[in-house]
Structures are given as C-alpha cells and as structure tokens.
C-alpha cells in the first residue's frame, strides 16, 4: 500500500504547531524524543523529523514527499518544490534593520556598507533589484548583535513581534518579504501519492477552517429575528428552531473568530439572550 512521508522540523519554532495540526487532522502520533522517523496511525503517513535547513533539499530530492516549511526558507534555498497550502502559523517578515539614530533615510544608506544576515541569497537579490551595492556578511545566529560588536552597519533578519529588534536598539527599515508556514510538495509525486496528498490537504483545510470559526447558539424574541439574522455573518442562512416559550426561538449559526466580539455585542443589543459559543472541531464545506 502506498505511504506518504512528511518532513517537519525536529525542533524549533514550527515543531509544536506542526504536531498540533497533524494530530487535529486525526493522525495518531506518538511523542518519542530523539527519533528521526515515526509512523502515524489513522493515515498512511510517516513523519520525518529533520533540521529545518535540511528539509528543502530532502524535499526537492524526493526523500520527503511533502513538508511543512516557512516560505522564507524555501525562498532562501531557491528550492524547486511546489507550494500547496498556506497554514497561517509561523508568520514573520524578513526585514532590514539598523541601530536607532543611525541617520537611515533609504536603502542607499548601505552603499559600501555591511549587512549581517542568515539570508544572504534573499538579501543579495533584494539589493540587486534596488541597485544598491553593499557587503553581505553571512552569520548563522544571533544576527541582532552584529551592529553592536562592529561586525555590520545593519542586519537582515526574521522579525515576528519585533521584541528582539527593540531589545537590541534596532529599528526595522525595510520589509523584504512576508512569510508563513506552508505545505510544500516534491515536484514529481506519482498519482497514488498525489491522491494521498489530496486526502491529507482535505483534512488540513477542514481543521484550519474550523479554527477560524465558532458555532453560536442564542435565544431571540421573534420580533427581533430579522435584525438578528442580518447581524449574523453565517456560512449560509442560520438555523431557526421554535422554543417552548411562545414568541421566542433559538438561532444557530457559524461566525468567523475575527468578527466574534463585534457580532456578540451587536446581537446583545438586538435582544439576543442566552448566547452560547462553541468551538468547532472540523468544518467541511
Ligand atoms: P521577535 O523578537 O518575535 O521579532 O523574533 C525575532 C527572532 O526570532 C529572531 O531571532 C528571528 O530570527 C526569530 N524568528 C522570528 N520569527 C521566526 C520564524 N517564523 N521562524 C524562525 N525564526 C523566527
């Protein structure tokens, strides 16, 4: 029987989010530390735990069929792989930053100067496109300290909350790219593996969709029903059920997580009572 394998980070920022996602997709995965490969229950899938920087090459060479990777890594490595689905986590940006009060006005600041980064390829292309000639100093970690020890005039690094820049008295000046985790695939999967990938993507999409929404139940006086229905941004029309009390009904719908508080406030003002909000486990449209 055909089996698929997926490469994920062995450790690091994305590891936990990947494990939660795969488990939410119904895969039974044992946590065994120091293991390179495990087999999942509930789906014909093996999981390869690899170093982040090694995954693009294994994927391109077909050692892994699919992988969860940050876009930033795939772009930096110039990997020939196929992006299948953005996952909405591990969001960050690759930015250029300089020490506070360095008199930076635009990128020409770096003409003839030095930038420290772990992303030399992406940075070189950016500078080339902008017509700026600067020296790129490649370092593999703690990029943010480079300006303070006289190693560089600025840095190019991943920024998420911006705390690291702030703590190191650096200011973000240029955003080179925005990145998040994606499912990527090897470019030459056979038909059987592609069919398995489609099944897995179906599960992932249903899981991600469910995370973005909440199920809502409320009681409403029939007189306010039109108003309440107009407030609900549901997937189709809400379900309306009569209550035992005359003149009242129960309204069921699905609302997007990001509109949650605004919708709840508006519903209360429109006369809704006994509002229940329930997480959705899977959502298949
Ligand atoms: P922050 O302080 O939240 O802006 O995070 C910045 C630090 O975390 C830098 O050292 C980055 O290299 C690293 N970082 C931020 N986001 C990511 C990411 N998505 N993947 C890997 N490293 C990241």
Q: How far apart are CA 173 and CA 115, in angstroms?
A: 13
From 166, 190, 210, give the residue that closes a domain. Answer: 210
* Same-domain check for residues 70 and 187: yes
Q: Which residues contact 30 (CB under 8 A, 6 or more apart)?
A: 38
Ligand 1 atom showing the smallest separation from residue 181 Cα: 19
Answer yes or no: is 284 within a domain. no
Answer yes or no: is 57 within a domain. yes
From 210, 232, 260, give the residue that closes a domain. Answer: 210
Give the CATH number for residue 267. 3.30.70.120
Q: How far apart are CA 228 and CA 68, in angstroms?
A: 41
Answer yes or no: is 48 within a domain. yes
The pTM score is 0.90
Ligand 1 atom showing the smallest separation from residue 118 Cα: 12
Give the CATH number for residue 165. 3.40.190.10
* Same-domain check for residues 173 and 187: no
184 C-alpha to ligand 1 centroid (Å): 21
Answer yes or no: is 285 within a domain. no
Shortest-distance Cα residue to atom 9 of ligand 1: 158
49 C-alpha to ligand 1 centroid (Å): 20
Mean pLDDT in residue range 15-34: 91
* Same-domain check for residues 24 and 79: yes
* Same-domain check for residues 131 and 241: no
Note the pLDDT tens digit of each residue in 231-278. Answer: 998 667 899 999 999 999 999 999 998 888 999 999 999 999 999 999
The most distant pair of C-alpha atoms in the chain lies apart, rounded to whole Å, by 80
Note the pLDDT tens digit of each residue in 60-104. Answer: 999 999 999 999 999 999 999 999 999 999 999 999 999 999 999
47 C-alpha to ligand 1 centroid (Å): 25
268 C-alpha to ligand 1 centroid (Å): 40
Ligand 1 atom showing the smallest separation from residue 159 Cα: 4
Ligand 1, pocket-test mutation among 164, 170, 175, 179, most atoms within 8 A of CB: 164
Q: List the single range of 13-22, 128-137, 255-264 with lowest mean pLDDT.
A: 255-264
60-75 burial string, b = 16+ CB within 10 Å, else e? beebbbbbbbbbbbbb
* Same-domain check for residues 201 and 249: no
* Same-domain check for residues 69 and 200: yes
Gyration radius of the chain over CA positions: 25
Q: How many domains does the chain have?
A: 3
Pocket of ligand 1 (CB under 6 A): 13, 70, 90, 92, 157-164
Average confidence score pLDDT of the chain: 95
* Same-domain check for residues 217 and 201: no
Residue 34 is predicted with a pLDDT of 79
97 C-alpha to ligand 1 centroid (Å): 13
Q: How far apart are CA 65 and CA 63, in angstroms?
A: 7
160 C-alpha to ligand 1 centroid (Å): 5
* Same-domain check for residues 141 and 32: no
In the predicted structure, residue 114 carries a pLDDT above the cut 80: yes
Residue 132 sits at the vertex; the CA angle it makes with 129 and 136, to the nearest 5 degrees, is 100
Shortest-distance Cα residue to atom 16 of ligand 1: 160
* Same-domain check for residues 185 and 83: yes
Residue 234 is predicted with a pLDDT of 65
What domain range includes position 172?
A: 92-179
Ligand 1 atom showing the smallest separation from residue 166 Cα: 2
Residue 260 is predicted with a pLDDT of 86
Answer yes or no: is 84 within a domain. yes
Q: How many CB atoms lie within 10 A of CB 158?
A: 19
* Same-domain check for residues 63 and 192: yes
* Same-domain check for residues 82 and 185: yes
Ligand 1, pocket-test mutation among 143, 155, 159, most atoms within 8 A of CB: 159
Ligand 1 atom showing the smallest separation from residue 142 Cα: 10
Residue 235 is predicted with a pLDDT of 65
Note the pLDDT tens digit of each residue in 181-211. Answer: 999 999 999 999 999 999 999 999 999 999 9
């Amino acid at each position: 029987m055909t089996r698929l394998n997926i490469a994920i980070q062995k450790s690091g920022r994305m590891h936990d989010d990947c494990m939660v996602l795969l488990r939410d997709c119904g895969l039974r995965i044992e946590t065994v530390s120091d293991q390179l490969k495990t087999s999942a229950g509930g789906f014909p899938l093996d999981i390869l735990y690899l170093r982040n920087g090694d995954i693009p090459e294994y994927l391109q060479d077909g050692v892994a069929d699919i992988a969860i990777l940050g876009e930033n890594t795939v772009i930096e490595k110039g990997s020939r792989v196929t992006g299948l689905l953005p996952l909405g986590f591990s969001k960050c940006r690759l930015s250029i930053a300089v020490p506070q009060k360095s008199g930076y006005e635009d990128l020409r600041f770096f003409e003839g100067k030095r930038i420290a980064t772990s992303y030399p390829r992406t940075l070189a292309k950016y500078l080339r496109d902008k017509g700026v000639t600067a020296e790129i100093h490649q370092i593999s970690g703690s990029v943010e300290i480079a300006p303070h020890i006289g190693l560089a005039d600025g840095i190019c690094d991943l920024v998420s909350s911006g705390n690291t820049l702030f703590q190191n008295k650096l200011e973000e000046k240029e955003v080179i790219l925005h990145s998040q985790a994606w499912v990527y695939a090897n470019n030459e999967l056979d038909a059987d593996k592609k069919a398995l990938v489609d099944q897995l993507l179906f599960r992932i999409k249903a899981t991600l969709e469910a995370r973005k929404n909440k199920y809502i139940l409320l009681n409403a006086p029939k007189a306010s029903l039109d108003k309440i229905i107009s407030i609900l941004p549901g997937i189709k029309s809400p379900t309306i059920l009569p209550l035992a009390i005359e003149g009242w009904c129960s309204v069921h719908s699905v609302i997007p997580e990001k509109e949650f508080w605004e919708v709840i406030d508006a519903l209360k003002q429109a006369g809704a009572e006994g509002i229940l909000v329930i997480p959705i486990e899977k959502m298949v449209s």
